[in-house]
Copies of this chain bind each other. A is one copy, B any other.
Amino acid sequence: MKLLFGYESSKDRWITLKQIFIFDLPKSGINKMLRTHTCGELRLDHVNQKVTLAGWVQRVRNKGGLIWVDLRDRYGVTQLIFEEGSTDKSLLEKAAQLGREFVVQAVGVVIERTSKNDKLPTGAIEIKAEELTVLNPAKVPPFIIEDETDGGDDLRMKYRYLDLRRNVVREKLQLRHRMMQETRKYMDGQNFIEVETPVLIKSTPEGARDFVVPSRVNPGEFYALPQSPQTFKQLLMVSGFDRYFQIVKCFRDEDLRADRQPEFTQIDCEMAFVTQEDILNTFEGLIKHLFSAVKGIELGYVEHMTYADAMKGYGNDKPDLRFDMKFVELDHLAKGKGFSIFDQAELIVGICAKGAAEYTRKQIDELTEWVKRPQIGAKGLVYVRYNADGTLKSSVDKFYSSEDLTFWAQAFGAQPGDLMLVLSGEAKTVRKQLSELRLKMGEDLGLRDRNVFKPLWVVDFPLLEWDEETQRFHAMHHPFTSPKREDIPLLETDPGAVRANAYDLVINGVEIGGGSIRIHDRATQQLMFTHLGFSDEEAQKQFGFLMEAFEYGAPPHGGIAFGFDRLCAIFGGSDSIRDYIAFPKNNSGRDVMIDSPSTIADAQLEELSIRVALKK
């Protein structure tokens, strides 16, 4: 037998293996529970009770013959005290040698503290220790296990299990748990049935971003992991399940951006015999329930806005409505006055930043530089300052009279003290640029409070969008989305103008869910595939089962899916989803903690009838 080393608590030393099990269990023996209370529950009511606690050593202080040990678990922190004189000497010595993150069990009596700590729920008491058992020693952790840590991103990812030990991180996952529980409670209460759909499904031609799984039993063939359970939930509607939901892992093998994960979680939902209104009402109800149950916030009215209005008013299909600053178009006021940049522009559009007239010239120059950065790409920025004294000062005074600018101010609904910012250029581009500027101004002016939540339904999305790369139309939502009845003739004449029965739920400028009323008859579905450039054979091969299902009595139906990771991040007031995932992958799709993905043995590849073929 090889000699391995372990830590023996009674002698406080590292010993060889055969003796190692001495510290494996507390003195009280295997069948005794390891604690009578958690580290978060003792109060003055418990004084004089003999208790057993177990947890991690957060801190040891040693002063004037007294040793205090802060013992931590998920539920809180309780202070143990060892006192020279009244505490057994060997116990004192043992306590003095405890290190950070040691796992210990302590038996003692609850006593009232002389100096109480109001900040701690257990701060009125401490435990006069009588026994101390090291259940497991700990090496010095690679970073500090406190709310504020000195560990960098990479180190914390490698030792994710230690990062998760920090209260601020664990609490995010407890929030996630609460969100899951409350989602299910609401959905169950609304008669939705949770159905697990398969993870091993079929790769689709659109599935360039599918993860695939070779089948050993069916050599040369592959499963794919679902990017969403879309077709299965539609089949459940054909089956008469009426109301389906699932909190489900989905997968997408795309090049990862900072805030994407190859595996992510959706709240996936579908309803039969409904119109769009039913769906919006039902899921507005879900979001309101979550805000109320998890955050104690009553959301109130949820605005509805068409995609066209969102693009026109905010340059964005997911406007942040925590602040107004709506787009105002100035073409009729600003053209034909000799300012050639505006005269040549397809669109002149601006925003009015309330109370920002105090921006200095330097600040405005910085804004101008900001919009000219390559990421934004504006050519320049026109400003009009509405001074407190009622006068107007702009960067284009050469071309516009005071009266001209007064009209502008009226168009903006501006007041003295406001700052108007105007961009011009190609309509689509300039709206996008102004949207970025609007968000920046909202941020700079402190209008994007993380504790304020403004939900919004964006409706009437386009059915199709033009893809420059492939030079054809793609489904904006997915190929199962139904066009609006009245727009169907446009499919032939102006496909880009066809509106879909599709909707997104947006909170604070973040899309947290989207869905649509689906096509539910074979002919329309087939027409849709034709318009998306599928041959009949391709359509049949990939989605024949769905189209066939539509011939056996498919009810009208529609649904929605929420990005659960993002929803949790929004609730937690965070921009990043990563902290809301227990074991996230990094930007290269790697789990650096377990070092995955990894190579596998040739024998395993052979069994799966595949071979690695690296590109040169």
Q: B residues within 8 A CB of A610?
A: 214, 610-613
Q: Report A205-233 CB contacts with B as 1/0, cut-off 8 Å.
A: 10110111111111111111100000110
Which of B32, B235, B521 is the one whose CB lies under 8 Å from A275? B32
Q: Is B222 in contact with A277, judged by CB distance below 8 angstroms?
A: no
Which of B201, B213, B553, B585 is the one whose CB lies under 8 Å from A213? B213
Q: B residues within 8 A CB of A292?
A: none
Looking at A18-26, A433-441, A454-462, the stretch in contact with chain B turns out to be: A18-26
Interface residue? A304 (CB, 8 A): no
- Contact residues, A153-177 vs B (CB, 8 A): 159-162, 164-165, 170, 173-174, 176-177
Q: B residues within 8 A CB of A277?
A: 31, 33
- Sample of 18 more A-B contacts, CB < 8 Å, known A21-B488, A56-B240, A160-B235: A17-B523, A33-B274, A33-B277, A73-B240, A103-B555, A136-B521, A136-B550, A136-B554, A136-B555, A137-B553, A174-B193, A181-B188, A199-B225, A201-B594, A208-B604, A218-B597, A219-B614, A609-B614
Indicate how many identical chains form the complex: 2
Report the Cα distance A188→B240, complex, angstroms. 31
Which of B176, B201, B241, B589 is the one whose CB lies under 8 Å from A215? B589
Q: B residues within 8 A CB of A524?
A: 6, 20-21, 24
Interface residue? A414 (CB, 8 A): no
Looking at A247-255, A322-330, A353-361, A443-451, the stretch in contact with chain B turns out to be: A247-255
Q: Is A485 in contact with B30, judged by CB distance below 8 angstroms?
A: yes
Most buried by B among A74, A162, A177: A177
Interface residue? A102 (CB, 8 A): yes
Q: B residues within 8 A CB of A588?
A: 217-218
Interface residue? A263 (CB, 8 A): yes
Q: Report A88-114 CB contacts with B as 1/0, cut-off 8 Å.
A: 000000000000011100000000000
Given contacts A170-B239, A595-B202, A599-B221, contact A135 B556 (CB under 8 A): yes
Q: B residues within 8 A CB of A522?
A: 4, 6
Report the Cα distance A85→B31, complex, angstroms. 81
Q: B residues within 8 A CB of A141?
A: 552-553
Q: Is A249 in contact with B196, judged by CB distance below 8 angstroms?
A: yes
What is the interface size of chain A, counting residues whose CB is below 8 A from a CB of the partner? 151
Report the Cα distance A553→B176, complex, angstroms. 25
What are 8 inter-chain pairs, A to B, with CB distance below 8 A?
A: A6-B524, A17-B523, A139-B552, A165-B239, A200-B211, A202-B596, A249-B249, A610-B611
Which of B202, B253, B523, B583 is the one whose CB lies under 8 Å from A598? B202
Report the Cα distance A530→B1, complex, angstroms. 9
Q: B residues within 8 A CB of A534?
A: none
Q: B residues within 8 A CB of A553?
A: 56, 101-103, 136-138, 141
Closest chain B CB from A33 CB (angstroms): 6
